[in-house]
Amino acid sequence: MDIVRLLLAVDSITTTELILKTVESRSWPLGTEARILSVVEDAEVPLEVWKKEGYGVAAVRREMKKRGEQIASLAVERLHLLGIPTRVVVTRGDPGYLISYAARKWKADLILIRAQNRRDLRNRILGSVAKSVVETTSCSVELVRATDPGSASQDKLKILLAVDESNSSIAAAEHVAQTSWRTGTKVNVVSVVNPLIYSLEEIGLYIDSGTKRAHRAINEAVQSLKSTELEISAAVVAGRTTKEILKQAKLWQADLIVVGSTNERGLKRIVSPGTSQAVASRAHCSVRVIRSDSLSKGQAVKWPFTPSITYELKREIGLKKAA
């Protein structure tokens, strides 16, 4: 199923611009719609605004209105030109908590969020908000990173798909196969095996199904991708799983890594939940984490009990307070 509901989580104009460029560089099916969510924390309200508004809730409302208008002026028209109708929602509270709830309430298919927020920009590690969203959301998440200068053009997107034989890996391969990508997109399917077992198997001193499982995982993923126009390559590599996925992505100059994530356990699990989070945290490029054990999208979700004021922006009517 094509992604049709995008939740774009932003915390600044810089983040909004980064995520907009990512959306603009991809191909989206007819019917795609977007919701831009920005959560204002009280600590982000300037001291002078608090003073001017008597340290009351009006100070937060003022900051929310300002941010909403900035985001709308930057984003709504650009997404409209892509044929993607957009609503901007600005609310107050804890972003790590509210983004996941908003995704479930709106039944989002994919969250796009910056890998590091403003307070994490000096670090390569995953930001606290993004980490919380990956751990708690019920849908797939793409951790967006800026493209390094001199990297390959995203007109020719290069995707590294890490697979094993797990259900989440199958879901990741099916996700890539069913998603709209621009013409010329390349996919490199990689499965990692234990280096010691691989070496012993090669010289006949050890009989294990690890390498066979890796080849089966690749074959299954390639079969899922065969009906697409994607340019496909594949490899079984030996090494420590997280390190090897990151290494292969770097060597191949991947623009996007796709990994599955689930609570599933057992011998089939090579790309474990911890691995997918480690890859998302340390990758040089954007990472899309595909959930195979998502909660039912038909399940009703109430907005969490937390101090929040929501505004919605529609291109036709401008800023208004949500009902």
Q: Which pLDDT tens digit goes with each residue over 256-315?
A: 999 998 654 443 444 555 788 899 999 999 999 998 754 444 444 554 545 455 555 655
216 contacts: CB under 8 Å, gap ≥ 6: 165
Residue 72 lies in a domain: yes
Q: pLDDT band at residue 41, thresholds of 50, 70 and 90?
A: confident
| Domain CATH number, residue 92 | 3.40.50.620
Same domain, 187 and 282: yes
* DSSP per-residue string spanning 219-234: HHHHHHHTTSS-EEEE
Give the other-Cβ count within 10 Å of 31's Cβ.
12
Whole-angstrom Cα distance, residue 312 to residue 323? Answer: 9
Residue 50 lies in a domain: yes
Same domain, 102 and 39: yes
Same domain, 121 and 211: no
Q: What share of the chain is helix, strand, coil (3-state, %, to 5)?
A: 40, 20, 40
Distance of CA 163 to the CA centre of its chain: 17
pLDDT tens digits along 87-146: 999 888 889 889 999 999 999 999 999 997 544 444 444 678 998 899 888 899 999 998
What is the extent of the structural domain holding 92?
Answer: 5-139+297-321
Encoded tokens for 315: 């291109």
Residue 146 lies in a domain: no
Q: What percent of the chain has pLDDT over 70?
A: 76
- Asked whether the beta carbons of 272 and 242 are under 8 A apart, the reply is no
The structural domain count of the chain equals 2
Which amino acid appears at position 209 of this protein?
S
Residue 144 lies in a domain: no
Q: pLDDT band at residue 148, thresholds of 50, 70 and 90?
A: low
